[in-house]
């Protein structure tokens, strides 16, 4: 069974540009989460999808971040325009049910120059 | 503010040593505590703890939760070089999104041959 996959593994962009991160959860997992770790800090929750619906987006830092999960399968996280402080590792996780274990992807390292 | 604190931040031991990693938490709506192991990329699940005093064990790793004192420990006996990783502690906050994980900064364990 394939795990959670994220693409790209690393993205380097300039300030002001747009970047889109993608997450493919484990097949059959309705719950999809986005997290972010900036350097020196702990991993922080961004948002939670249940199927295609946003269950909780309280962790999204500002309106430059837009997450979608059309059709309830893969999800994208777009940052537009990117700022220097957006640099970090963006993790995606999925779980079968909100009670179950979250399985994490390898993360996308975003570097904003 | 909800928080999870891990200690130590970094630890260097030799093969065969036994280590204890600590995780304390202050979370408004605790539901479970999880331990993950992060080697190069994706955090991989180790344990989920929901009840006090019940030890979870997997090979040389074991963990226990104390909900009265608000902490958990992760023990690794007879350490091997393959145990080298960052160990993450996360607490599930039920008050917000179901499954909203609050992470500590992690403990970086280095096992020398």
pLDDT above 70: residue B99: no
Measured CA to CA in angstroms, residue B41 lies from A4, A16, A95 at distances of 12, 27, 18
CA distance linking residue B110 with residue B84, whole number of Å: 5
CA B40, B43, B46, B49 torsion-angle sign: positive
- Nearest by CB to residue B96, choosing from A42, A58, A107, is A58
CA distance linking residue B75 with residue A73, whole number of Å: 37
CA distance linking residue A37 with residue A13, whole number of Å: 18
Q: State whether A42 and B105 contact (CB < 8 Å).
A: yes
Measured CA to CA in angstroms, residue B59 lies from A31, A32, B78 at distances of 30, 30, 10
Q: Where is average pLDDT lowest: A11-20, B41-50, B66-75, B97-106?
A: B97-106
∠ CA B9-B13-B17, nearest 5°, is: 120
Q: State whether A104 and B34 contact (CB < 8 Å).
A: no
pLDDT tens for residues A41-84? 999 999 999 999 998 898 999 999 999 998 889 999 999 999 99
């Amino acid at each position: 069974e394939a795990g959670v996959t994220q693409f790209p593994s690393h993205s380097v962009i300039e300030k002001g540009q747009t970047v889109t991160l993608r997450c493919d959860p484990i097949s059959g997992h309705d719950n999809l989460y986005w997290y972010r770790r900036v350097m020196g800090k702990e991993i922080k929750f961004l948002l939670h999808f249940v199927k295609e619906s946003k269950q909780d987006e309280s962790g999204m830092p500002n309106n430059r971040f837009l997450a979608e999960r059309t059709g309830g399968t893969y999800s994208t996280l777009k940052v537009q325009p990117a700022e220097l402080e957006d640099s970090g590792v963006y993790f995606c996780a999925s779980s079968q049910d909100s009670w179950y274990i979250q399985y994490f992807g390898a993360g996308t390292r975003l570097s904003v120059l | 503010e909800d928080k999870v604190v891990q200690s130590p931040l970094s630890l260097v031991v030799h093969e065969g040593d036994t280590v204890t990693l600590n995780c304390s938490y202050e979370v408004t709506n605790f539901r479970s505590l999880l331990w993950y192991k992060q080697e190069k990329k994706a955090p991989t699940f180790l344990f989920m703890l929901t009840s006090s005093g019940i030890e979870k064990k997997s090979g040389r790793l074991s963990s226990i939760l104390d909900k009265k004192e608000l902490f958990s420990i992760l023990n690794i006996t007879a350490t091997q070089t393959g145990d080298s990783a960052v160990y993450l502690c996360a607490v599930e906050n039920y008050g917000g999104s179901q499954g909203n994980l609050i992470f500590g900064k992690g403990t970086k364990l280095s096992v020398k041959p």
